[in-house]
Homo-oligomer: A and B are copies of this chain.
Amino acid sequence: MQEKLFVVKIGGALIDDEELLNEFLKQFSEIKEKKILVHGGGKLATTLADKLGVEQKMINGRRITDKDTLDIVAMVYAGGINKNIVAKLQQKKCKAIGFSGADANLIKAKKREHAEIDFGFVGDIEKKSVNRKLISKLIKLKLVPVFSAITHDKKGNLFNTNADTIASVIAQALSSKYDVELLYCFDKSGVLEDVENPESVIKNISEEEFSTLKNEGKLHKGILPKLENALGAVKNNVNKVFLIKETELKNHIENHHAGTEICL
């Protein structure tokens, strides 16, 4: 039997709420198994860009990361947010160690290529982008890696990379060594059948059901990429993948089910 490893992803709304974040980090620090945390950005980067007069550029509705924006997200994600989360986890006796993908070449990305749009400093990653061996060694030292959504290309450039994707590829890469459970934590109790009804949690979504829901237009725009990353994980040997409510982390781990399970 392989050893259990939780890869837990948290997003911006949680990070922006100090009290909720503290409660979440308490629950996270109490997980007895091996674990990794991946965090997104929150509003801070946008607020800072506004204050500094750095305009957020969009092309065809897609966000562009120009050099000024990259400088801001690198500071905010890999500096401010990451180090505050690490300090708070350390307070809770969790041996957190904060990383960007540049550190020890842990996640090497490729600049996003697109026929019409130059996304700027946006990095795409896949399973093999992850330095699986070194992450395993760090976990063996009883450390708890905390990843910000910043990667690099080993050519001296930092990149902005989707945090859901980072969580997915880390989970995939470590599945050869560990029994990995990937948890996407967000502010809903799971994927909802009816977005107006918080009780309408769909217990399981298979690849086929995902296609159906997607084609029927039943999936909220924000949940789509998260589900795609979740499906990417189960298709690449991640043992279990759930979307759960942030406040349900402890309950999910102790009672083995909460939220929506994504399966093949």
Contacts and interface: CB of A to CB of B under 8 A. Distances in A.
Interface of A: 48, 51-52, 71, 74-80, 82-84, 86-88, 90-91, 95-100, 102-105, 134, 137, 141, 143, 150, 152, 154-158
A66 to B, nearest CB: 15
26 contacts: A51-B51, A52-B52, A74-B80, A74-B83, A74-B84, A77-B79, A78-B78, A78-B82, A79-B79, A79-B80, A79-B83, A83-B100, A83-B152, A84-B158, A86-B103, A87-B152, A87-B156, A87-B157, A87-B158, A88-B156, A90-B102, A95-B105, A97-B104, A98-B100, A98-B102, A134-B141
Contacts of A104: 95-97, 143
B156 A91 contact: yes
A229 to B, nearest CB: 24
A121 to B, nearest CB: 11
A151 to B, nearest CB: 10
Given A79-B79, A95-B104, 12 more contacts: A74-B79, A74-B83, A75-B79, A78-B82, A83-B103, A83-B150, A83-B158, A86-B103, A87-B152, A90-B152, A96-B104, A137-B141
A209 to B, nearest CB: 40
A103 to B, nearest CB: 5
Contact of A51 (B52, B87, B90): B52
Which DSSP category, helix, strand, loop or mixed, fits chain A's interface? helix
A78 B75 CA distance: 8
Contacts of A99: 97
Q: Please list the 6 inter-chain residue pairs (A to B) with the smallest Cβ-Cβ separation, ordered nearest first.
A: A79-B79, A91-B156, A75-B75, A75-B79, A75-B80, A97-B104
A102 B74 contact: no
Contact of A103 (B80, B97, B137, B156): B97
Contacts of A158: 83-84, 87
A165 to B, nearest CB: 19
A38 to B, nearest CB: 16
B52 A91 contact: no
Given A51-B52, A91-B155, A156-B91, A102 B75 contact: no
A139 to B, nearest CB: 12
A91 B154 contact: yes
Nearest to A84: B158
A86 B104 CA distance: 8
Find the residue from A78, A143, A154 having the highest chain B CB count within 10 A.
A78
Contacts of A71: 80
